[in-house]
Structure 1
Amino acid sequence: MQLNIGSGILFLLTLGFVSSTALTVSLQPHETLCYYVLTVAKDSSIGFYFAVQSGGSFDIDFKVKDPEDKVLISGEKERQGDWTLKAETPGEYEFCFANGMSTWADKVVDFEIRVDDDFRAELPEVKKVSTGEKEPVDGMVFSVSSIEDKLNNMLRTLQYYKTRNSRNQHTVKSTEERILWFSLLEILLMCGLALFQISVVHFFFKGSRKQMV
C-alpha cells in the first residue's frame, strides 16, 4: 500500500519470517521519502542498506525510528551505509531519506530492508543405524548456514561494485561534458581572437593608405 502525503511517501511492508525488499527511488530537491516496515516478533533482526547512485555529491540525509518514535540511527550527507538493527519492540519502523540540502539536483538511491523474525523450520531427524536413536542433521544445518553467509557476502560485494560503477559512470559523463564545453569555449575564443586580429590589421592598412594619398 502506497500513500502520497505531502512530500513524503508512506510505504507499508508487512513482513513475516524472513523477507526483504530492494528498491530504487528518486528524490527531488527538498523532498523526503519515508518507508515503514512492520515487525511482528520481538527481537527481530532488521538489515538496512542504502547507497546514493547519482545526483549532486552522492550524499543524502537519513533517519531510522522505532515504533515509539525514538531515533535509532541517523546521518547527514551520507553516501552509503549498512546496518543491522535489533527490533526490540514489535511494530512499525520508519526509514526516511531527505534531500533537503540540495537546491537543484535529484538523487537516486538504492536501498534494501531485510527482516528476519528468527523463524527456523524444524529439520527432520534421522535414526542411527546401530542404536536406533534420533539425531539432528547438524551437518546440513552448518552447510545451509555457511551457504547463506557466503551468498549474503556476495550480495553485499555486488551492491558495492554496482555503486562504484554507477558513480564512476557519472564521473566519466561529467568529465566528458566539461571537456565538450571547454572545447567549444576554446574554439569561440580562437575565432574571436582571429576576427580581432583581422580587424586590427585591416584598420592599420586602411589608415596607412590614407596617409599615402
Structure 2
Amino acid sequence: MAQWEQPAPAAQTAPAPQAPVSQKKKTPDVNDTFRVHGNHAELKALYERIRDCTQCALSGNRKNFVFGMGNPRADILFIGEAPGKDEDIQGLPFVGRSGKLLDKMLFAIGLSRQDVYIANVLKCRPPGNRDPLPDEVALCEPYLKQQIDIIQPRLIVALGRIAAQSLLKTDAPLGKMRREKHTYNGIPFIVTYHPSALLRSSGWKQYAWQDFKKILNFMEKPV
C-alpha cells in the first residue's frame, strides 16, 4: 500500500487564495506576486512577463495563468502538464483533487509545498483539459526553462507522461520512462504518474510509491 493512503493532516495543505469565479481574468497585483513567490526578484520578473503573454490562443480563454508556487530555492522541482479547471480559477497549481493527493504524497515523504517548487509545462489551461498541442508546448517551454534556471533544483520530478515527454524530447511511454535513469541539463530527473492518473487507476499508486522512494533516496532519508 502506498504511504499516502492515510490522509495527511489538513495543516499540510498549502492555503490557496481564491480568485473571483465570475471574473474572466484577474490581473495579479504586487501582493499576489509576493505571496506566491516571496522576495525572489527573478521569478517575480518572469511572473510578470508570463502574465502579459499572448503568444498563443490559450491566453485568450484563460481566467488566470498558473505560474507555479513553492520555495524559490527548492532542491526538488515538480513539473506537471497544464492547469485544470480549478487551477484556472485560482491561478495556482494542483489545487483540485489532484492537488490534494499530491499534498498527501509529499507528506508521506516528509515534505510540503513550502519545501518544494511546483510548476507546469503550460501556464494556461487547454480547452476541456485536452492534451497540450506541440506548438503550445514549444511557445511555453522557454518560460519553464527560465524557471528551472532561476530555481536551480537538484532534482526534477515529472508528473505524468506529457511533462516527461516534453522535457526529455521523447515519445517513449510512461512505463518505459519510469524504469530508466534520466537527466535534464545535468539535473537528475525522475518520471512518475500524474496524480490525476492515480485517481483514475488506484492500482498505479504502488508504482508511484516506488518512484517517491527514489525521491527519499535522493533526500537521504530512511524509507
Class of the TM-score when normalised by the shorter of the 2 chains: under 0.3
- TM value normalised by structure 2: 0.20
Q: Determine which structure has the larger helix proportion and give its number.
A: 2
Q: Which of these two proteins has the greater Rg computed from alpha carbons? A: 1
TM-score of the two chains, using structure 1 as the length reference: 0.21
Structure in which a larger fraction of residues adopt strand: 1
